[in-house]
Amino acid sequence: MRDDTTASGYKVLARAYRPQRLSELVGQDALVRTLTNAFASGRLAHAFLLTGIRGVGKTTTARIIAKALNCEGPDGKGGPTPEPCGVCGPCRSIEAQNAIDVVELDAATHTGVDNMRDLLASVRYGPTALRTKVYIVDEVHMLSASAFAALLKTLEEPPAHTKFVFATTEQRKVPVTIVSRCQRFDLKRVPPSVLSAHLARICAKEQVEAEDDALALVARIAEGSVRDSLSLLDQAIALGGGRVEAAQVADMLGLADRARLLDLLEPLLTARPKEALDVFAELHARGADPVAVIQDLLGACHWLSRLKLDPNADPGWHTGKDGHQRGLALAGRVGLPAAARAWQVLLRGLEEVKAAADGAMAAEMLLLRLACLAELPPPADLLRKLEQLGQGGSAAPVRPEPASAGPAAVLVAPPVAQAPPALASRPPAEPRAAAAPDFADFAELVTFLRGHDEPMLASMLETGVHLVRMAPQRLEIRPAAGVRPDLANLLQDALLLRTGRRWMVAIVNERGAPTLAEQRAVVRDRLIEQLSADPAIRRILDTYPGARIEDVRPSASELASPPTEQRIERA
């Protein structure tokens, strides 16, 4: 086992300040309270499962439990206690990891069933030197399925002199049969404020001067891991020669360029693409990874969104007082929808940058896309103008506002409740033939089937059937390629069931009319063409080069009147 003590006798902070009793655990109040009460009442489980991220104290807690179960006190007469003395023989041997009755197994390297069988073979024998045998299995989720199966029976009915303590960072990979037989504790990430206070106490003991901002930065970067924070503090003390300063810590962690990140984000959200590319080129020249830059921009967008709701929101990375003020100013200029859209664009583009042969080139194109979106107005403004047009009003051209970017240069027309003037000149439809007793036309029949629990059949008729003739209780159709060969029988059975009348459905080889889906596409295309020629909508399209009407929702009368050349007269 590697020894973290150097040749000069120095012990790294993560080992020197490892908790020795439950009360010394940092940020795990629920676990401490539960185990303390369990020791006081004698209601101790036979197996414990400790879960959590790396560095929150899982293995440390397992060893404390082992010591607490076997502590004899300074006078050798003590019993199980949540506060082991640390000076008796069992406490010292467990701390030195040479206690024969405390077995530690690393499941990451001993995953097989044979390893588990060897361990379980000794379970039946009582402890040799201690009061209780304790088996500590680290990273238990790495055990094989066979190893878990071998462990299950023993775990269900363990000997009275034996306790199991399992630790894992992947609780979901542990079989539920194992979890259900353990008392589970979820060790939480330690909050930055608690972690920062813990680091300050350690610095005071080590007689190290440390700035509060520096310790807060270390606590944030550690992401709730006590061990990681102590390792970073060790490095910061060495860098500063006994003094820990925020600027040095930021430089040590590679965070000195976070101020430049705001220099990059601001032009992206305010439609200044050249400036944004210049800043990115500088960051890339200094060794910044394009993927890391995009990930940092995602974090910055999230921070801006939170600043809109809470001016004191913590970015989670070092910005300093000036950076925070800049963030507030930018959040005041950028709308919340714009920040959310920027997040979506960056999140989707991140995979493109990762997969691209030239990450820097892909990142530049992604940044250009984001900066161009800032030139477009919010979609809500466009929809309001279009609704005014649909109601017969007039609308002035919408001017882009750089602070609130729209997602794309696409217009979606609202429902056409009343046709604009350009549509009013369409010639009236020719009179239809006499309607069938139940259905005015084929479209109504399809709608009827869809509304009466026949959605699949209705979809087949709509997209894959050409109507040739329609008469009362009679249909002549030509199915398109790929339609089920038994369509006629299916349709006859469905109509008999749903209408109570027997229908005759014939398959013929005549060309027939376009499918209903094709007819509606023709109507939609004609409406788009006519709407595009409308002066009011034309002004909107001209305001945004490249914009187009993507879709319209025709009124019922428009859909009910297919073009003359596509109409089929019923017999």
Residue 431 burial (C-beta neighbours within 10 Å; 0-12, 13-18, 19+): exposed
Closest CA to 405 of 371, 382, 367: 371
Pull the structure tokens for residue 415. 């429902």
At residue 405, the pLDDT reads 37
Q: Do domains 192-252 and 258-373 have the same CATH topology?
A: no
Residue 430 vs residues 271, 476, 519: alpha-carbon distances, Å: 53, 22, 16
Domain at 13-186, CATH from 2.40.50.140, 1.10.260.40, 3.40.50.300, 3.30.450.270: 3.40.50.300
Low-confidence ranges of the chain (pLDDT < 70): 1-9, 254-257, 316-321, 376-438, 544-545, 554-571
* 132 close to 70: Cβ distance less than 8 angstroms: yes
| Per-residue pLDDT tens over the stretch 172-208 | 999 999 999 999 999 999 998 899 999 999 999 999 9
Domain at 192-252, CATH from 1.10.8.60, 3.40.47.10, 1.10.3720.10, 3.40.50.920: 1.10.8.60
> Alpha-carbon Rg of the chain, whole angstroms?
36
Q: Give the integer Cα–Cα distance in Å for 114 and 96.
A: 27
Q: Give the integer Cα–Cα distance in Å for 394 and 386.
A: 9
| For the chain, domain boundaries | 13-186, 192-252, 258-373, 376-468+509-571
**What burial letters (b/e) apply to 155-187, b meaning 16+ CB within 10 Å?**
beebeeebbbbbbbbebeebeeebbebbeebeb
DSSP-derived secondary structure letter, 286: T
For residue 284, the cross-strand partners are: none
* 445 close to 452: Cβ distance less than 8 angstroms: no
Half-sphere exposure of 177 toward its Cβ, with a 13 Å CA cutoff? 11
Task: Give the count of beta carbons closer than 10 Å to the beta carbon of residue 314.
Answer: 13
CATH number for the region 258-373 comes to 1.20.272.10
| Per-residue pLDDT tens over the stretch 118-175 | 888 888 888 988 999 999 999 999 999 998 998 988 898 888 899 999 999 998 999 9
* 550 close to 411: Cβ distance less than 8 angstroms: yes
Q: How far, in whole angstroms, is CA 26 from its chain's centroid?
A: 29
Secondary structure of 17-53 as H, E, C letters? CCCCCHHHCCCCHHHHHHHHHHHHHCCCCCEEEEECC
Pull the structure tokens for residue 70. 């076997």
